């Protein structure tokens, strides 16, 4: 997107540098990183950065309104409603495709959003490792709001641990040692001292929760939640003392209900030039757009791209028994904007990562994540057999 910076980076790139970079990155984990990390960071010009941020702020205007909870009550499945919900989400992740308008300017288009944490620890490490192994422009940064690395960690620590002690806070997952994102748990532990604990290892006594910390039974005051209900469906015979829907005396950092409230369910409420038209399928009352080739069908209750249908016809829509649980969204044309060393170009998606401190009126922008793709679907699992694709980070012009 920045031709001179891209040309300079590609000219200095070599496979040997890339392998050294990966080897250094892999030192952060006991096992090698399972998802593909792209060869390059993404360099974002200020004009696109400003559009990204202004669109995010328009979204925050909606989710910070007093009536947002009332509007999104139906987003939470009855059997997955978790007690003791807080006033607002702790996390906000907003995904954009990088596109071009008719004038040839780079513009964002909203893909989806989540009230759920992303790879805050790993992105910190990834950006640092890129800076260590490559010559990057000094007036570009992966952080926002004048944060430096020390302030980044302090802000993240305050959100996750607050006034508790690190040993009384856990990262909650199901079999964290088997997750592809386990490197993020390991980096997070190094940054703020919080350990990942499997749901099956939680001890419940009345409304109190405990875990064994180096063999010592330790109270849990706060849960940094990285577990979603969809993951639990893969383990139908799981035996646990603690179920997510139990009424327990813990503070959720990333309360599970916000995963549903801020999601594809939110998108029909959003209006902005950089947000494609989106409606609940049930709102069409059978009168669908003629140009269905320009739309994508998405189930509300799915994760990581599962169930998304890109090529649809009217029969796909009329055969759905629960149209209130689907959205029809105008397609977005990703523009291949990042030139590779072989002269081809790849598509890019940018995730803006916000945290929302307790009782603050609005979230703050902390970091970002990028994903590069050659395939029809964005996401590392859809691009594992290509090069110059995978997870990355944006360095944005100050």
- Mean pLDDT, consecutive 10-residue segments, the chain of 398 residues? 91 96 93 93 96 98 96 93 96 97 93 95 97 94 93 97 98 95 96 97 98 97 95 88 96 97 95 95 93 92 75 92 93 93 95 96 97 75 76 96
Cα separation, 260 vs 243, in Å, equals 18
* pLDDT value of position 378: 63
Stretch (H or E) spanning 23? helix 15-25
The residue extents of the domains of the chain are 3-273+336-397, 277-331
Tokens representing residue 36 in the block: 């593909």
From residue 342, alpha-carbon distances to 36, 323, 347 in Å are: 19, 45, 15
The two beta strands, 203-205 and 91-100, are: unpaired
At 321 the three-state DSSP class reads: coil
The alpha-carbon radius of gyration of the chain (Å, integer) is: 21
Instruction: Give the Cα separation of 244 and 238 in Å (integer).
Output: 13
pLDDT the model gives residue 272: 96
Give the pTM: 0.93
Q: What is the DSSP letter of 40?
A: S
pLDDT at 18: 97
Q: Give the model's pLDDT for residue 247.
A: 97
Q: Measure Cα distances from 179 to 34, 182, 184, 341 in Å.
A: 9, 5, 10, 32
Are 77 and 257 within 8 A, CB to CB? no
pLDDT at residue 300, rounded to an integer = 87
């Amino acid at each position: 997107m920045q031709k001179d910076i891209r040309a300079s980076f590609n000219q200095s790139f070599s496979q040997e540098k890339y392998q050294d970079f990966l080897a250094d990155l892999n030192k952060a984990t006991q096992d090698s990183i399972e998802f593909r990390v792209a060869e390059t960071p993404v360099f974002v010009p200020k004009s696109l950065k400003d559009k990204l941020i202004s669109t995010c702020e328009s979204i925050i205007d909606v989710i910070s309104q007093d009536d947002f909870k009332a509007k999104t009550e139906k987003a939470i499945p009855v059997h997955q409603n978790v007690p003791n919900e807080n006033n607002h989400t702790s996390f906000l992740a907003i995904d954009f495709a990088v596109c071009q308008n008719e004038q040839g300017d780079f513009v964002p288009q909203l893909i989806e959003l989540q009230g759920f944490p992303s790879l805050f620890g790993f992105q910190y490490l990834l950006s640092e490792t890129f800076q260590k192994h490559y010559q990057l422009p000094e007036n570009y940064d992966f952080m926002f709001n004048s944060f430096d690395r020390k302030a980044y960690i302090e802000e993240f620590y305050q959100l996750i641990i607050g006034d508790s002690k690190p040993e009384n806070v856990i990262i909650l997952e199901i079999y964290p040692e088997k997750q592809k994102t386990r490197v993020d748990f390991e980096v997070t532990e190094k940054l703020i001292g919080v350990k990942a604990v499997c749901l099956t290892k939680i001890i419940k006594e009345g409304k109190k929760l405990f875990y064994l910390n180096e063999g010592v039974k330790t109270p849990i005051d706060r849960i940094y939640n990285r577990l979603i209900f969809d993951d639990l469906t893969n383990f139908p015979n799981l035996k646990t003392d603690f179920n997510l829907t139990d009424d327990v005396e813990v503070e959720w950092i990333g309360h599970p209900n916000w995963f549903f409230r801020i999601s594809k369910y939110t998108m029909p409420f959003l209006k902005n030039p950089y947000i494609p038209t989106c409606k609940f399928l049930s709102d069409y009352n059978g009168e669908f757009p003629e140009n269905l080739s320009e739309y994508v069908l998405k189930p509300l209750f799915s994760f990581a791209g599962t169930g998304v249908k890109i090529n649809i016809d009217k029969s796909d829509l009329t055969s759905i028994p629960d149209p209130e649980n689907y959205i029809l969204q105008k397609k977005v044309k990703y523009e291949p904007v990042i030139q590779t060393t072989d002269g081809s170009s790849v598509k890019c998606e940018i995730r803006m990562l916000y945290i929302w401190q307790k009782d603050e009126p609005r979230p703050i922008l902390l970091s970002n994540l990028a994903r590069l793709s050659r395939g029809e679907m964005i996401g590392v699992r859809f691009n594992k057999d290509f090069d110059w694709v995978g997870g990355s980070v944006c360095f944005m012009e100050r």
